Structure 1
């Protein structure tokens, strides 16, 4: 789990390098996986009846190793470790695990499974995905705002058009929003909602089909595009940071050039193919009526 913090003294630097070495990180990752298996087995009463004592001792042993590991990281980096988001995350996970899970704090026992999430801070590919999702939040926020606007307008129209005949589904604005969310997920949207509505309003498909195309396919692909772009940008930043730490230079890329070439172009074409296949499937379903 590489960190942006640097040790100031030689022995601290050596300790930090040892803790963050591939061998040490592999050991911690293996312990996290074993701990995850143990926490899963503890949910089975039959397993706990025969092996509960052993599993509890193994859980405490692994927790002790985690405490030693985080303590060594504090020794190597001092309190500056908490300035690193991943260091703060690991520390909070260990602190929660150390709180006695009894009395009013018994609910914290279930939070022990959060230790499994430490894999995110150790596996570089997982870390890139999480950092990409966080960096994509502003763009996703704009898409969610647009989706909320589409849902609101569609819900008002549905309430006015279908509310009298179908009060359970479209009687109120809230009911319409929930029903449209079900339609967007394509969960029983045809036989469960649209076909019964079309029995009373034969032209209702003129409302539902455009809504599905906009809310389901267009919005979903906008989310995918934002996330893919964020992951690509994050990978480029990681590569540039790694090259800078090794004293290498990274040639700046022209805007959007790398995102439309090579593997990214193939990814974009694959998304277009999937969208066409989904549209063909939707047309086939509508044609079967």
Structure 2
């Protein structure tokens, strides 16, 4: 069992699985070309079965080695759901659902690359703050949608005809996609003061709110990096202490041997 544990936890084994995930992602991408896929269907099918079999064996080996500890890790459960879903749906008529699970295998890259795991963990840690920021943004959108409908309904009914159209228009402005030439300038020609409405909305939502979200994610990523560094320092200190103890034990052994002589 110890040999199996070393094999499953070995860096080379994890690199092999990561490489297999990348190959699987490339194959799924190539399958989107009907000419290539139809002419080489047997090859693609065989490779897919082999890759799925290896993923299944990997998960089973991890369960055998880690046992209950396997289910204490979110990423292990994530891998299990993807592989289990792929295996269960493989011989069923639910082709569309199977395709979703096959594409989801690409996300397994996140669970095998530590830096990606750190970023996703930071994103999950930021969810409470992001939720608060999104709530504020929803209020801002609602207020500006009402103002836009009240001020510019007559000038531009296709963009500000009602609160729903105003909300969609504001989302387009928020993404900065063709907002100046398509939306702002025609309204600005008839209402010169409209620049304040549009500019203030962009500054508040696109610049300030988005920077708050990004800043929170960056802070969490930095905290995780600091925690990892602290853990690494602790491990180094423990290794140093163990080395010092071994040296002292060796010295004691030498003294005892000399006394026995």
The question of whether the paired residues in 2 share the 8 Å contact of 1:155 and 1:176 is answered with: yes
1:96-245 alignment to 2 at 5 Å? 96-101=85-90, 105-111=94-100, 112-245=102-235
Deviation of 1:142 after TM superposition, in Å, equals 1.5
Deviation of 1:158 after TM superposition, in Å, equals 1.0
Residues 246, 91 of structure 1: CA spacing in aligned structure 2 closer, same or farther, 3 A cutoff?
A: farther
Aligned counterpart for 2:41 among listed residues 40, 52, 56: 52
Aligned counterpart for 1:29 among listed residues 18, 36, 47: 18
Query: What is the CA–CA distance in structure 2 between the aligned matches of 1:32 and 1:104, rounded to whole Å?
Result: 25
SS state of the match for residue 94, structure 2?
helix
Deviation of 1:14 after TM superposition, in Å, equals 4.2
Query: What is the CA–CA distance in structure 2 between the aligned matches of 1:104 and 1:200, rounded to whole Å?
Result: 58
Which structure's CA Rg is the greater one?
2
Deviation of 1:240 after TM superposition, in Å, equals 3.0
Residues 243, 17 of structure 1: CA spacing in aligned structure 2 closer, same or farther, 3 A cutoff?
A: farther
SS state of the match for residue 226, structure 1?
helix
The question of whether the paired residues in 2 share the 8 Å contact of 1:42 and 1:52 is answered with: no
Structure 1 stretches of 5 or more lacking a match?
A: 1-10, 250-289
SS state of the match for residue 66, structure 1?
helix
TM-score when scaled to structure 1?
A: 0.77
C-alpha deviations, 1:221-270, integer Å up to 9, x for none?
Answer: 11221111111011122333444455559xxxxxxxxxxxxxxxxxxxxx
The question of whether the paired residues in 2 share the 8 Å contact of 1:82 and 1:88 is answered with: yes
TM-score when scaled to structure 2?
A: 0.85
**Higher helix residue share:** 2
Residues 247, 56 of structure 1: CA spacing in aligned structure 2 closer, same or farther, 3 A cutoff?
A: farther
Superposed CA RMSD in Å reads 1.9
Q: Does 1:43 align with 2:48?
A: no
The question of whether the paired residues in 2 share the 8 Å contact of 1:163 and 1:170 is answered with: yes
Deviation of 1:189 after TM superposition, in Å, equals 0.6
